[in-house]
Structure 1
Amino acid sequence: MNNSNFVSFSFFCFLFLSQTFLSFSATERCNPNDKKVLLQIKKALNNPYQLASWDPKTDCCNWYVVECDPNTNRIVTFNLFSANISAQIPAAIGDLPYLQTLVFRKLTNLTGPIPPAIAKLSNLKLLRLSYTNLSGTVPTFFTQLKNLTFLDLSFNDLTGSIPPELSLLQNLDALHLDRNKLTGNIPESFGKFTGKVPDLYLSHNKLTGSVPKNLGHLNFTVLDFSRNTLVGDISFLFGTNKTIQIVDFSRNMFEFDLSNVKFPDSLTSLDLNHNKITGSLPQDLRKLNLQYLNVSYNKLCGQIPTGGKLQTFDISSYFHNKCLCGAPLPACN
């Protein structure tokens, strides 16, 4: 090959390699800072199999578990689910400033407290840390996440009391604190949510005391206080002017007369089993489009009203009461 041809060939190779490099660079959408943080997170989680696609030579917008915003190319979703990981939540998670969805779910070997670094995620809308072995208290720093619409801390080993400050989250649609080891009272501040009125899931804890009366001033859609040791009268949570749809107050120590309680037309599920409720079943229950009903294991008396959906439920919805009778239970004497 003469010098002229060699120069031409070399120039052609240079152009080809340059174009290939530029083409690869053009397809690399991932923000370099986000990629660096993600690789730190991978290392902190001990390089689990679920993050095998996190190859630094590839575009992090194409990695499993995460998603990029198509406009900004910043990481907006981190969803780690059903993985065999023995670690704590890395503090580096707080260095993904555009994150809107953060999920660590069904990770039974995920331990330790909820890291304060999460408070830096000011754009976060959905936070789900559930079905793990996270311990410690429910942090008050969640109040810094003003954009949160969904907070799920269920199925963990969290202890201590419920922070009253959570009522300051104005955009919250649902709050899941169920299936933990929380103690103390339901905060009175939960009757003073300053924005939306969230669905409240507080079941399967060790909560005590009475339900704050001011919760009766709000229109909840879902209330689940089941399997605690709560006491007192909760009839104020009902009323014809309410919009509540699903109620589960079962397995507590509530004690009140059910006879004259007025239920809203919106109610579709009512579970009051295993309490100390007295009186009779209100006739107005016949008007409701109930999909579920359980008033068993109380101290109710009188005839079950006839009509509506009340006879479509089996004996287990009514048995073990003081003197309740009528279909589907045996006839009244």
Structure 2
Amino acid sequence: MNDLDVTGQIPEFIGNWTKLTILKIQGTAWRGPIPSSFSNLTSLTELLLGDISNGGSSLEFIKDMKSLSTLVLRNNNLTGTIPSNFGEYSNLQELDVSYNDLSGSLPSWVSLPNLDLNMKKTEDEEELKSVGHDKDTQMCMKRNRIIPQLK
């Protein structure tokens, strides 16, 4: 559903398409929040949601999407923290959660060919050094602002 002239809220019924393997919603005038029913889409291998106005959702809906190889959630006004269970996404090759309102610790296991975080906040600079330590990782973190961890 790229570049379609559709408006309104993202339909909840899309979450009923449980055999769907690829979902791309970008360049539409749909607005969020992202329906909680999207958590039913556990067969997805590619999820690309971009430029959803009023996204205002957390990343909770992706917690069981462990078949994903591509996860692009760019510019959706997502809030909350990066899930700690991303280590269970063994097929994940591309992760782009840029231009959202995400924060939290970055898992040290992150080593993907394509990684675009551009998070507003992360806990400390040492975490950033351990992210994407694989020499083949392409990384973009230009918007990151280091927030000192309170102890």
Give the TM-score normalised by structure 2. 0.79
SS in 1 for 2:26: strand
Question: Residues 137-165 of structure 1: CA distance to partner in whole angstroms, max 9, x if unpaired?
Answer: 22332232232111111122142233234
Partner residue, 1:217: 109
**Letter of the 2:2 counterpart:** R
Work out which structure has the larger RCO, using CA pairs closer than 8 Å and 6 or more positions apart in sequence: 2
Q: State, as a whole percentage, how many aligned pairs show the same letter.
A: 26
Summarize the Cα distance change of 1:179–1:194 in structure 2 as closer, same or farther, 3 Å threshold. Answer: closer
Q: Choose the corresponding residue for 1:235, options 115, 119, 129.
A: 129
Contact 1:159 1:181 survives alignment (8 Å): yes
SS in 1 for 2:66: coil
SS in 1 for 2:23: strand
SS in 2 for 1:219: coil
Partner residue, 1:205: 100
CA distance in structure 2 between the partners assigned to 1:158 and 1:175 by the alignment: 19
Partner residue, 2:142: 250
SS in 2 for 1:217: coil
Summarize the Cα distance change of 1:163–1:205 in structure 2 as closer, same or farther, 3 Å threshold. Answer: closer
In our comparison, the structure showing a higher alpha carbon Rg is 1
Partner residue, 2:16: 120
Count of aligned positions: 145
SS in 2 for 1:252: coil
Summarize the Cα distance change of 1:118–1:235 in structure 2 as closer, same or farther, 3 Å threshold. Answer: same
CA distance in structure 1 between the partners assigned to 2:97 and 2:17 by the alignment: 25
Q: Which runs of 5+ in 1 are unaligned?
A: 1-103, 257-333
Summarize the Cα distance change of 1:161–1:193 in structure 2 as closer, same or farther, 3 Å threshold. Answer: farther
CA distance in structure 2 between the partners assigned to 1:132 and 1:120 by the alignment: 20
Partner residue, 1:136: 32
**Letter of the 1:206 counterpart:** D
Give the TM-score normalised by structure 1. 0.39
RMSD (Å) for aligned C-alpha atoms: 2.4
